[in-house]
Amino acid sequence: MSISSHDECICFVGVSMINLAVWEKFLKSFASFIVDMIDRVFAGIMAAVIKAITDSEVEQEYDVVRALNFIAWSLDFQRQSHEYHVAAMKHDRAVAVAEATQAGTPLPPPVELTEMVIDITSVEPALNVEATELVARQLRVHSKEAKSLKKGGARNVVVLRALLEQIRMIRTCLRSPDKETAHVAEMLLSNVLYEDVQTQLVWLCKTGFKSTVADPRVLTLSVQCLSELLKAMEKVVQRTGNKYKFAAGKRRRRRKGGKKGKRGKSKKSAGVAAVEEEEEQQHMEGEGRVSDSEVDTGDDDDKEEEDNAGVEDYDNIRAADTSAEA
């Protein structure tokens, strides 16, 4: 490429960037393409990805990270595009009302409620029970159960981003004028709270985070998740008139010194096994002593029988001698 052609190319790019109308048209068409792709393809892709991860015996690290990033990106894009669409409609409505008022013409019709409702079915695979369990399990494994954020700091950032976008999407659905969409959002919020993510978030903010070791984004995202979660719960309480009860699932704690075996029986610790072995040896020694005493008793009985037999023989001989003398 010559210098002149290079300069012409740079000028063309500069003029195109200055022409905001062209860029706005391009961005709108590109956004509509992404929305159309999410509506048609996202549900199938997300369902297949989560099913493949949950069905596999061992969760591959990079597969889980990619799935969580995909969940966070898709929910964020869908939510922001909906909010932009609603804001644009409200702006156009306000401009039309102002122009009609100045001109003295009738006011334009209000915006239909159907235009304000978000399409939750398009992102349902990223908010269903499987996706919620996946995010909550990753948060639990790499936060409180890990007892340290030295190794899982980057993973916690990815998990918290996915959780934050899930809660934000639920809040957006709770603000929907459609009652069915709001009711579905209440059920989704119940699923998130049932996984007890609030306990993990509190642990990250209070105990797990250390500025010298952990990524500072972990604390920021944890606080954002708790804030969004509390706002969503407050919205549900306002909608139901303080009659809605939130519940968190209880998880069984494993005893110290024992791991679960294949059949669900806990493996005994070394101390318990040693004590039981000693008791068994004492029991065996006691049985051995009893058997020896039984053997000795049998010998004494034989001796008594022999002695008695000798006495009987002596009596018979004595009786024979007396009869001979007579």
pLDDT one-digit tens code per residue, 227-250? 999 998 888 888 777 766 776 665
Q: What is the pLDDT of residue 42?
A: 75
Whether 225 and 290 map to the same domain: the answer is no
Q: Lowest-confidence range among 9-23, 122-136, 165-179?
A: 9-23
- Buried b / exposed e over 164-188, threshold 16 CB at 10 Å, is bbbbbbbbbbbebeeeebbebbbeb
Q: What is the pLDDT of residue 3?
A: 46
**Percent of the chain residues past pLDDT 70, beyond the cut:** 59
Mean pLDDT of the chain: 72
Q: Is 150 helix (H, G, I), strand (E, B) or coil?
A: coil
Whether 227 and 99 map to the same domain: the answer is yes
Whether 27 and 163 map to the same domain: the answer is yes
Give domain status of residue 271, yes or no: no
Q: What is the pLDDT of residue 197?
A: 86
Q: What is the pLDDT of residue 151?
A: 58
Q: What is the pLDDT of residue 266?
A: 43
Q: Lowest-confidence range among 155-169, 279-293, 295-309?
A: 295-309
Choice between 255 and 107, residue whose per-residue pLDDT is larger:
107
Whether 188 and 114 map to the same domain: the answer is yes
Which pLDDT band, with edges at 50, 70 and 90, does 167 fall under? very high
Question: Which of 183, 218, 240 delimits the end of a domain?
Answer: 240
Burial classification of residue 95, based on how many CB atoms lie within 10 Å of its CB (0-12 exposed, 13-18 middle, 19 or more buried):
exposed
As given in the structure block, the two tokens for residue 288 are 């051995």
Whether 176 and 86 map to the same domain: the answer is yes
Question: Which of 205, 220, 240 delimits the end of a domain?
Answer: 240
Residue 44 above 60 pLDDT? yes
Question: Which of 206, 240, 274 delimits the end of a domain?
Answer: 240
Whether 156 and 295 map to the same domain: the answer is no
User: How far is 167 from 185, CA to CA, in rounded Å?
Assistant: 10
Q: What is the pLDDT of residue 208?
A: 62
